[in-house]
Amino acid sequence: MKFNLVSHSFLSESETFVETKSFVGGEEIYLYDLAKLLIKLGNDVTILLAGKKEKDFFYEEMKIRTFKVINKRFFNLAWKKKIEKNSDHVHLHDFEYAYPLATNNMTGTCHGVTWDIPTNGSIYWKSHNFFHKFLARQAIKLLNKIASVDSFLLRFVQSEMPNYRDKIEIIYSYVNTNTFNPKVKGKEIKKKYENRKIILFPRNLTFVRGSLLILEAMKYIVKKYPEVLLIMTGTGPLKNRIEFLIKENKLENNVALIGHQDHFKDMPKLYAASDLVVIPSLGREGCSLSCLEAMATRRPVVVTNVGGLLDIVIDNFNGLISKVNPMCLAKKITYLLENKGEAKRVATNGYWYVKKYFNYDIWCKKYAEFFGIA
């Protein structure tokens, strides 16, 4: 079969992030894995991608076709014109691309609900949530079916649009245990940072990923652990503000901004070097690859009670769940720093849990069934 996979970004071709030659986010890695799977199953794959100019090229076995779009707001109106005429199946990597041009022979993926961001009275975030909820509702009506990486879209549809519930199929993300596992060593990184206790924040520097929340929590954490180090990976629109807040709160010795790291080469070592991993999302969180990767590396995790994180973490069993406030987050983190036995217990449980329920074979089988190519 000939597949066209439609995405606004892949290889960081986005106005939000600086351009790199590797992946900057979980959705891009997910698209890479999905394309590889379809090719492995004997299909021809083209990724239709927003870019700076129109061009065709190959990334590994994948054909990439970029087309120029003024900005992301116009992507929904542009992608359908680029669909290849001999395509057998069109799959929207974000189901919200569906409105207004999708047809009921197309499918999509939901990477987590996008309208669950706390507004705190902000007109911007109120309009954001309203708009994305509208897009989701339209996509659910237009598409043939939707693969959701967590259970929250199904719960929404069951509650708000019950006539469409059978369109939603939950396909949890998976973690590559060949790359992320306890055998990976982080001694060089530990040595570089003088064997300090390391909290890893493996996210991009955006509001919804909780970069400001973890900085607020650090003000409480350093009072108990003045030598603790928070390593923040990635890049994003909040970088300058975060640099300012680090200086303003005198956290220069406690926070290291190390920028974008290669997902396959650098991130496994960073997980291995960390004493715990924090996923402090405020919203728009699906089945977090960062969380799964940390658990597969047998690292204890602290997450917020947001989106698909609740499908992965069972509180006090394979990780700790925090409310979305800095004091609660700081308490959960310091508890694991103070109690090595508990940290080891939840890390071990997390390791076996993701190996059993979030493995590659399950993911492949479910997607093959989803596309009818099993």
Grouped pLDDT means (10 residues each) for the chain, 374 residues:
93 44 70 96 95 88 90 89 95 97 98 93 94 97 98 97 98 95 96 97 95 97 96 94 96 96 94 98 95 98 97 98 97 97 98 96 97 90
Which residue, 127, 113, 45, is CA-closest to 84? 45
Residue 367: C-alpha distances to residues 37, 173, 251, 370, 373 (Å) = 9, 11, 45, 5, 8
At residue 197, the 3 state secondary structure works out as coil
Q: How far apart are CA 181 and CA 189, in angstroms?
A: 17
Which residues, 6+ apart, have CB-to-CB distance to 292 below 8 Å? Answer: 173, 174, 175, 180, 312, 354, 358
3-state secondary structure of 269: helix
Under CATH, which number does the domain 2-175+359-370 receive? Answer: 3.40.50.2000
User: Is 2-175+359-370's fold the same as 187-357's?
Assistant: yes
Q: What is the CA radius of gyration of the chain?
A: 20
Domain ranges of the chain: 2-175+359-370, 187-357
Is 16 in a helix, a strand, or coil?
coil
**In which region does residue 236 sit, left (phi positive, over 0), alpha (psi from -120 to 50) or beta (all else)?**
left
CB-CB contact of 125 with 208 (8 Å): no
Q: Are strands 55-59 and 62-68 parallel, antiparallel or unpaired?
A: antiparallel
C-alpha distances in Å from residue 157, one per residue of 108, 140, 341: 15, 9, 41
Q: How far apart are CA 42 and CA 17, in angstroms?
A: 33
CB atoms near residue 224 (< 10 Å): 12
Are the C-beta atoms of 336 and 342 separated by less than 8 Å?
yes
**Distance separating alpha carbons of residues 2 and 79, to the nearest angstrom:** 17
Residue 128 tokens, joined: 């954001």
Sign of CA dihedral 183, 253, 300, 334: positive
CATH superfamily of 187-357: Glycogen Phosphorylase B; (3.40.50.2000)
Position 70 scores a pLDDT of 78
Q: How many residues does the chain have?
A: 374
Task: Give CA–CA dist 267/180, Å, rounded.
Answer: 9
